[in-house]
Chains A and B, each alone.
Chain A
């Protein structure tokens, strides 16, 4: 197995995640795309960990941390989406443009 193939797969996933972040109108779906990106990163970390043969398994442990933080982030993110939905009765990110000049 080549290291490149894992990274390319990770890159594909990441790019698709970016596409999703930029394109989706529903806030929850944006978060979903962010999850996709994080998963891609995980693949990268573990692949490199194995490639480098890290004795302390730093890559794997870090990906564990990423998973944990991602979970926390989703929790908070959804809570915020909920609040916005309560305020505006819509989860459309298009309508969240109060910061425009």
Chain B
């Protein structure tokens, strides 16, 4: 155990992991909507840092670009449009009975996974492996080209679907939808 602390990587890991968990916790318990979103940003940024620690540079950068750059913005838009009560607001979460139940379930889940992992892997080590973008690209377009195409279709569908779902229906007499 003391070996673990002697390595620099592990310190770096701790510095990244702890804020991440804390931020995540705050994200789900905050009474302020915007605060929740911002805490999510912290968590996501921390996960990108973890990826860097592991040597997956391309994935880290993609997380920053897509997740933080696009998804979170989307969330903010969503909040605005649905007129979520901004600022501190009372009832963003359920009553405490629900909270206890949920806490139990999630706690049990966490315990389960942890125990299983520790029992399974024990002291297994890994070493960071810097992965270059061109390796990713190579693999993507050789081995995973079909899932790649499928995902692009999914994105297309989401694009079209989103537009279709969110537009206002034209009322008789109105002009055509913009």
Contacts and interface: CB of A to CB of B under 8 A. Distances in A.
A binds B: yes
Interface of A: 1-9, 11-20, 22-29, 31-33, 35-36, 39, 42-43, 46-47, 49-51, 53, 56-58, 60-61, 63-65, 67-76, 78-83, 85, 91, 94
Interface of B: 4, 7, 9-10, 13, 17, 20-21, 24-25, 27-28, 33, 36-37, 40, 43-44, 47, 50-51, 53-56, 58-59, 62-63, 66-67, 70-71, 74-75, 77-79, 81-84, 91-94, 98-99, 101-103, 105-107, 109-110, 113-114, 117-118, 121-129, 131, 135-136, 139-140, 142-144, 147-148, 151, 154-155, 157-159, 161-162, 165-166
A91 to B, nearest CB: 4
Given A7-B117, A15-B109, A69-B151, A57 B135 contact: yes
Chain B interface SS verdict (over half): helix
The 3 closest A-B pairs by CB, nearest first: A20-B28, A72-B158, A22-B102
B121 A3 contact: yes
A39 B44 contact: yes
